[in-house]
A = this chain, B = another copy of it.
């Protein structure tokens, strides 16, 4: 193994250990943690805005949001949730367990029901980094093209749930549903796929139900 491959393996191993500790801490305090991954502009923030507004009457919700630069998403989301923190990664193209641990230091986990982690917009880097989440959701917007699951298999294969977003644009872009479902299932045969539009509200109720099922352990995840 090359020196770089060795160092990379050590980093991932260390990350996995810390992520396992986080997972234990989240489980013991009753926090359901959702790790949202996608390419840039797939609609993570808009989906979260809608999700937060509808979960909050019933649940205490917190958000960590990762970006290379700016705290724009945290600003957007802070209008919809009380506990929102931006993690600015500089040149790093993913969040890792260490960043999450540092960001939640001092948080009263007992008082939080859902923690949403909006990962850095990237279809490659976040795939390798466990952040202690309960479930990982990969988002793919209808505008990105039906071939993306085949071209970025790892991130689909590592996800527990898939959301096709921006369904309001499906007709305008000539979205081929059968093809994208077939491509997702070629690389991740058991992955459940749901279709949503945060703009029109299509599929949001089903998504909220899935979140509650993940929280109470009854969801069928891949």
Contact = CB atoms under 8 A, between A and B. Distances in A.
Contacts of A41: 39, 141, 143-145, 148
Contacts of A68: 124, 151-154
A93 B91 contact: no
Contacts of A148: 40-41
* This chain: copies in complex: 2
A67 B151 contact: yes
A67 B69 CA distance: 25
Interface residues of A, number: 36
B93 A150 contact: no
Interface string A109-122: 00000000000111
A50 to B, nearest CB: 15
Given A7-B3, A122-B124, A124-B125, A147 B70 contact: yes
A145 to B, nearest CB: 5
